[in-house]
């Protein structure tokens, strides 16, 4: 046997041993699982040895600040590489385009691993097949998430026995989006102290408009009907979802066909009066970007509140006017508040995500410690923020990670700019609150998806103009409700009632078992 033959024989034998060893260890072409799994395992292995990092691609709303870009590229990704073996890549979509462009990315299977949206979208995106179930990932990689987010909060995002989103915020939430946030400094400047009624809001606008017509009254026209319910409705109601067609009566537990109710007429008439007054500016209706520009310019008198919006928006208000103050109020404040969703914030992993494990690990990392939490929200201590007297003092005006997305009772610190009255309002918001009868209920639109799609089209065409007050209820309601019925409203209403009855029955059965 020649030396070359001996050499080839030795190499062949060595390769055979390597392949057998790889099969035994689950490495290489004999590993169990998919090709994708093999690639991810290989990438993680290489990263652990100082090789290529996994790039985690995330979608976020809004505009990226200069400091956020610098922070992600430097301090944050330095830590991510060291602690999670990944590189974070964030794509920002402006608020005015967020829903349309996000859904385009999801529906076309674009390469993203993680995104945020409001809780009401979880059921819709699950029904459309956009999402990956998270139970196994949470169990394996989410120990800090489950330790810092109450178990009941996760139930909010469970559908068909599986978890579809991480309810990232764990904070006070009763009555969310049923309060009104006002420019408190301007309210006081016209001799008023508080807001308790619709008449108070109208008086505030009228007095300010007489002083300076450049101020306008109301930001959202797509929301806020339930702000008015607190005064106009004899029974406490909670909307089923953001489509605003159905609600539940919290006293009786019965579903309400809101668009067929007398309450809808009352709300529409208030909105129409507000358009006539100029409190709702017709020029800004449907132009979200222009609305946001007006708020950024300090011209907003009030908008729908969100429990902590007076704290969250203070920096924006003070950028336009250093003496600006904000505060949230509930109309008819003596009436109870209801918790329909303990978190309106939901992080979801797309069905086609390339790196779902790393997405869960990243979310888990945020809540592993107060230091992690402060770092990703506020930046580098001493450079971007410092703590003073138990509060956060920001050293930059640039927004980093949105604090409200991850606000957590275990780690929360108020900004030093927030007045104690605002912080107290927020911390005590849930005092004596009640759990909504809709808590944990998700309407599965699949059995009536065609009819429901037609309903939404009719609703947007016929009812939204009534909702915002630019056409009169008296002149347009009959034609609008007739079109809704033709589109299949009664079939959808019947299916909703059927599912809700089953939900209530399951709750009663569960309560009986606990007893």
* 420 three-state secondary structure: helix
Q: Which residues contact 164 (CB under 8 A, 6 or more apart)?
A: 122, 125, 126, 131, 133, 134, 157, 158, 348
Average pLDDT, 10 consecutive residues per value, the chain (515 residues): 39 39 35 36 45 94 96 98 98 95 97 95 93 98 98 91 96 93 97 98 97 85 87 95 92 97 97 94 81 86 93 89 96 95 92 98 99 98 96 92 95 93 94 93 91 96 94 97 98 98 85 55
Query: Which pLDDT does position 34 carry in this prediction?
Result: 34
Q: Are strands 237-239 and 216-218 parallel, antiparallel or unpaired?
A: unpaired
User: Domain 180-336+412-435, what fold?
Assistant: D-Maltodextrin-Binding Protein; domain 2 (3.40.190)
Residue (of 171, 140, 111, 161) closest to 349 by Cα position: 111
| Domain 180-336+412-435 in the same topology as domain 33-170+344-388 | yes
Per-domain boundaries in the chain:
1-30, 33-170+344-388, 180-336+412-435, 447-514
Q: Which residues contact 56 (CB under 8 A, 6 or more apart)?
A: 80, 86, 87, 88, 89, 113, 114, 355, 358, 359, 362
Query: Which pLDDT does position 19 carry in this prediction?
Result: 37
pTM, full prediction: 0.78
The string over 61-94, giving b where at least 16 C-beta atoms fall within 10 Å of a residue's C-beta and e elsewhere, is beeeeebbeebbeeebbeebbeebbbbbebebbe
- Domain 33-170+344-388, CATH number (from 3.20.20.70, 3.40.190.10, 3.40.50.720, 3.40.50.300): 3.40.190.10
């Amino acid at each position: 046997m020649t030396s070359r033959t001996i050499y080839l024989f030795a190499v062949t034998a060595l390769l055979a041993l390597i392949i057998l060893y790889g099969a035994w260890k689950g490495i290489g072409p004999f590993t169990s699982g998919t090709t994708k799994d093999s690639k991810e395992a290989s990438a993680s292995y290489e990263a652990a040895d100082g090789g290529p990092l996994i790039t985690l691609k995330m979608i976020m709303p809004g505009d990226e600040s200069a400091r956020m870009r610098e922070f992600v590229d430097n301090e944050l990704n330095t830590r991510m590489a060291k602690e999670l073996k990944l590189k974070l890549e964030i794509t920002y979509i402006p608020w005015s385009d967020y829903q349309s462009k996000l859904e385009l990315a999801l529906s076309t299977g674009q390469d993203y691993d993680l995104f945020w949206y409001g809780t009401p979208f979880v059921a819709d995106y699950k029904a459309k097949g956009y999402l990956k179930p998270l139970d196994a990932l949470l169990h394996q990689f989410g120990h800090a998430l489950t330790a810092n987010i109450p178990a009941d909060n996760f139930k909010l995002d469970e559908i068909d026995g599986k978890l579809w989103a991480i309810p990232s915020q764990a904070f006070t939430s009763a009555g969310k989006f049923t309060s009104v946030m006002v420019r408190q400094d301007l309210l006081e400047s016209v001799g008023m102290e508080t807001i308790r009624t619709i008449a108070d809001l109208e008086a505030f606008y009228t007095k300010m408009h007489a002083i300076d017509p450049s101020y306008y009254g109301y930001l959202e026209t797509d929301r806020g009907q339930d702000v008015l319910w607190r005064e106009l409705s004899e029974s406490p109601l909670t909307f089923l979802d953001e489509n605003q067609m159905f609600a539940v009566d919290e006293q009786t537990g019965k579903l309400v066909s809101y668009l067929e109710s007398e309450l809808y007429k009352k709300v529409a008439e208030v909105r129409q009066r507000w358009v006539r007054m100029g409190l709702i500016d017709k020029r800004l209706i449907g132009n979200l970007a222009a609305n946001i520009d007006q708020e950024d310019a300090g011209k907003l008198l009030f908008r729908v509140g969100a429990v902590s919006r007076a704290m969250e928006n203070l920096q924006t208000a003070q950028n336009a006017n250093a003496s600006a103050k904000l505060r949230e109020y509930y109309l008819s404040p003596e009436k109870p508040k209801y918790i329909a969703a303990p978190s309106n914030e939901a992080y979801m992993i797309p069905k086609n995500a390339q790196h779902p494990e790393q997405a869960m690990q990243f979310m888990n990392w945020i809540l592993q410690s107060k230091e992690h939490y402060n770092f990703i929200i506020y930046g580098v201590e001493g450079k971007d923020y410092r703590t003073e007297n138990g509060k956060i003092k920001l050293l930059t005006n640039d927004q980093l990670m949105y604090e409200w997305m991850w606000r957590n009772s275990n780690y929360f610190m108020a900004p030093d700019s927030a007045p104690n009255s605002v912080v107290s309002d927020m911390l005590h918001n849930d005092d004596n609150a009640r759990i909504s009868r809709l808590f944990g209920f998700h309407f599965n639109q699949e059995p009536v998806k065609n009819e429901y799609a037609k309903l939404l089209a009719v609703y947007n065409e016929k009812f939204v103009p009534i909702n915002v007050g630019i056409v009169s209820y008296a002149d347009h309601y009959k034609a609008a409700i007739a079109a809704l019925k033709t589109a299949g409203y009664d079939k959808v209403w019947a299916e909703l009632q059927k599912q809700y009855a089953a939900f209530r029955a399951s709750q009663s059965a569960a309560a009986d078992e606990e007893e």
